[in-house]
Amino acid sequence: MSEIQSYLRSLERSRDSMRPENRPATFWLRGRQWALLDTVFAPLHAGTTEVVLDLLGLSGPVQQPRRGAFLEIGCGTGVVAVTAALAGYSRVVASDVNADAVKNAALNARRHKVTDRVHAVHSDLFEALPTGQRFDTIIWSSPYVRAPEDYRFGTLLERAYVDPGYQAHRRYVDEAPHWLNDGGRALLHFSSRGDIDGLHRIAEETGRHLQVISRHTIVDRGDTVEHMLVDIRARGESATAHTEEPLQHGLSPQPA
């Protein structure tokens, strides 16, 4: 395991983000001001929320308004879900296992006047969603660092950083495609901090096919981290027009 994949380091980042000096009541991101509640993942330190906006093409002026229904699993402060609503999605569900994140997303939906189309839901992955609901885009910016199977969370915020034994990843990869409308996309934001081979094993075992549809490399506190948007579909289903390449085991070569 490389140093950037260390779950102990990720837990340290989680503790660091809890320091009062790192938790302003509001923060600016991509030209908008956002509320931040205690125990909720703070986008201002990690840079990953902006990466997700970029990977989804939700940064800057939207060329073509988005259509349809958008589900964000693990919404945190709700930056991605609210930005999706502002970009044109007509129905947005922002859900999180952390009840404070659900409140935080609702606050930010109110702040940006999209309460008519953003619904914040307290849910462990898909568990509390009405069974008949279907979506055109589903995204989870996951806690992609793998912790040991028997690790017990010390705080709610740690759930934003690590996934013990990839138990939540297994459920997401298995269940997400079931919640799609025809032609929809189930997406996972993953990175080289995660266990890519482990994710592949989960896909094999659950009958899923993984495909990277975009990548973005950033330097995060001295670590070079490759971020990727992974499309998850049932094996044998045809790939979308957005398809780029199969998810590689290990990392893609870094530019010299």
Ligand X SMILES: C[S@@+](CC[C@H](N)C(=O)[O-])C[C@H]1O[C@@H](n2cnc3c(N)ncnc32)[C@H](O)[C@@H]1O
With binding defined as CB under 6 A, does residue 108 bind ligand X?
no
CA distances from 78 to 139, 145, 175 (A): 12, 21, 22
Number of residues in contact with ligand X, rule: CB under 6 A? 23
Nearest Cα to 208, choosing from 182, 174, 162, 178? 174
Q: Of 34, 43, 136, 196, which one interacts with ligand X (CB under 6 A)?
A: 43
With binding defined as CB under 6 A, does residue 83 bind ligand X?
no
Q: Of 41, 135, 179, 190, which one interacts with ligand X (CB under 6 A)?
A: 41
With binding defined as CB under 6 A, does residue 97 bind ligand X?
yes
CA distances from 159 to 93, 105, 112, 125, 235 (A): 20, 17, 26, 12, 29
**Range 116-135, binding ligand X (CB under 6 A):** 124-125
- Pick 102 or 182: Cβ nearer ligand X: 102
Q: How far is the CB of 167 from ligand X (least distance, A)?
A: 9
Stretch that binds ligand X, among 77-85, 128-136, 174-182, 193-201 (CB under 6 A): 77-85
Only one residue has tokens 């309460």, namely 115
CB 138 within 8 A of CB 71: yes
With binding defined as CB under 6 A, does residue 73 bind ligand X?
yes
Half-sphere exposure of 5 (CA within 13 A, CB side): 16
With binding defined as CB under 6 A, does residue 107 bind ligand X?
no
Do the bridges between strand 162-164 and strand 145-147 make them parallel or antiparallel, or are there none, so unpaired?
Answer: parallel
Q: How far is the CB of 88 from ligand X (least distance, A)?
A: 19
**Range 145-184, binding ligand X (CB under 6 A):** 159-160, 168
Do the bridges between strand 91-96 and strand 26-29 make them parallel or antiparallel, or are there none, so unpaired?
Answer: unpaired
Q: How far is the CB of 178 from ligand X (least distance, A)?
A: 16
